[in-house]
Amino acid sequence: MEDQARIMQSLGGVTLAAHSVQGGMALPPPHGHEGTDGDGRKQDIGDILHQIMTITDQSLDEAQAKKHGLNCHRMKPALFSVLCEIKEKTGLSIRGAQEDDPPDPQLMRLDNMLLAEGVSGPEKGSASAAAAAAAAAVGGGADNSIEHSDYRAKLTQIRQIYHTELEKYEQACNEFTTHVMNLLREQSRTRPISPKEIERMVGIIHRKFSSIQMQLKQSTCEAVMILRSRFLDARRKRRNFSKQATEILNEYFYSHLSNPYPSEEAKEELAKKCGITVSQGVGSTITVSQVSNWFGNKRIRYKKNIGKFQEEANLYAAKTAVNAAHAVAAAVQNSQANSPTTPNSGFQMKDEDFQMDATESKNSLLSNMFSGSSGSFNLPNAGDMFMSMQSLNGASYQGAQVGGSVQSQGDTIRHAISQAVGYSDGLRGHLYSPHGLNVNGGWHDAPTPSSVTSPTEGAGSVHSDTSN
């Protein structure tokens, strides 16, 4: 036994220590002092480093000669097989002691988070980012804000860095593993190294590298969290819509008061409209979800306090009416002035119970509309209704009319028509639909008469037909 130990020691002195495969990455104590884990091992490494630093050509030659001598020793094969046996046994005992590392819960957490954030996993992040970028390039996609795409871009950046680093680590790990394996294979000619040992060594290397990877994952997670807090949570930071945007939304709301539930297309249309007007000023766009939020808030707040919104309602009702009237008037003029071949000639609003003659006067149209506006929803009490009527025919009507004409004064005929067309549905609903707020304060769920809100409502539903 002592002989074996001596031989082993001498072998170890020449090359990598034979124990090294058992003791982890750190090399073993060459002099038998058992450094348990921390300081002892460090000291060992220091010793070895010192030895390496003091290696000279002469000592190398000596070692080689020694090695050669041992290899040529006549007892070598027999001793080698004994060594192998011993190693096998110790290897088994060590294997029993070394537990298979369970999946690190923290690593799992990190992995899950990275997966959830779209940093790791399939190329979902970059793909959607590309999609967002494409949508932005197309010209203001429906549901992407600048901030969102910005966030996406940053996330993609993090993702890219993460993947490059990960790949780098992986590559380094593989290279190192191959290197160590080659080294061990090389050494297996001079000392007994079982495949299991190599496997274990590889495992150790992988663990080391995975701990480095964990650091990478951790810092990636941190980066994502910071990004989140800076971008997504900033969504909560409220910015008021511009005056024009609010105006547009209000116009739609009050002209569709009987059924203020814009369809998806209508929302998109509104978002676009608001975005266009806003982009001339502040430069932020309004998304469909923001339009949805706005309508959700508006509906609930209107319903809660109709009285408070009455003036606003009247104003916008009047404004829409004036706009529509202008449109109609313009169309009428158009039809009279232009040749009958003009597409817009003889503009008529179509509805089974609403046939408006093109020659009808603007005043009667207005009064019709106003009387209709208060009837478009069932007000909780008659007093409100009366007030509504009063204000419509009274002071606020004047103001509204002024507002309306100011708005439409600079408008071209085309704009007026588009306005009317855009809200023609609402006007019809506004004027003649008996549906609206019920006594309980809820809007009737269904726009019962198909004429009130056609399913394909929107700017496209233009009925400027001469024949009917």
Partner DNA sequence: CTTGATGATTATCA
Partner DNA sequence: TGATAATCATCAAG
Which x/- pattern over 306-345 shows residues binding DNA (rule: CB under 7 A)? --x-------------------------------------
Choose which of 300, 395, 402, 406 interacts with DNA (CB under 7 A): 300
* 69 vs 441 by CB, closer to DNA: 441
Long-range contacts of 279-288 (CB under 8 A, 24+ apart): 281/242, 281/244, 282/242, 284/145, 284/146, 284/239, 285/140, 285/145, 285/146, 286/241, 286/245, 287/142, 287/143, 287/144, 287/145, 288/142, 288/143, 288/264
- What distances in angstroms separate CA 241 from CA 19, 259, 290, 314, one per listed residue? 72, 23, 10, 21
Alpha-carbon Rg for the chain in angstroms: 41
Angle at the Cα of 110 (from 108 to 111), degrees rounded to 5? 65
* 295 vs 347 by CB, closer to DNA: 295
Does residue 294 bind DNA (CB under 7 A)? Answer: yes
CB 250 to DNA: min, Å: 9
Which x/- pattern over 217-246 shows residues binding DNA (rule: CB under 7 A)? ------------------xxxxxxx----x
Number of residues that bind DNA (CB under 7 A): 24
Choose which of 206, 207, 208, 303 interacts with DNA (CB under 7 A): 303
- What distances in angstroms separate CA 285 from CA 244, 264, 281, 297, one per listed residue? 12, 17, 10, 19
Rounded Cα–Cα distance for residues 425 and 466 (Å): 18
CB 309 to DNA: min, Å: 9
* 76 vs 299 by CB, closer to DNA: 299
Rounded Cα–Cα distance for residues 213 and 442 (Å): 57
Q: Where are the beta strands (DSSP E) in 361-438?
A: none
* 294 vs 347 by CB, closer to DNA: 294
CB 17 to DNA: min, Å: 58
CB 261 to DNA: min, Å: 4
Choose which of 157, 277, 292, 401 interacts with DNA (CB under 7 A): 292
* 253 vs 370 by CB, closer to DNA: 253
Does residue 293 bind DNA (CB under 7 A)? Answer: yes
CB 134 to DNA: min, Å: 22
Does residue 370 bind DNA (CB under 7 A)? Answer: no
List the one residue out of 383, 250, 372, 395 whose CA is nearest residue 309. 250
Is the Cβ–Cβ distance between 349 and 427 less than 8 Å?
yes
Residue for token pair 């005929």: 413
Contacting residues toward DNA, per CB under 7 A: 235-241, 246, 261, 289-290, 292-294, 296-297, 299-301, 303, 308, 441-443
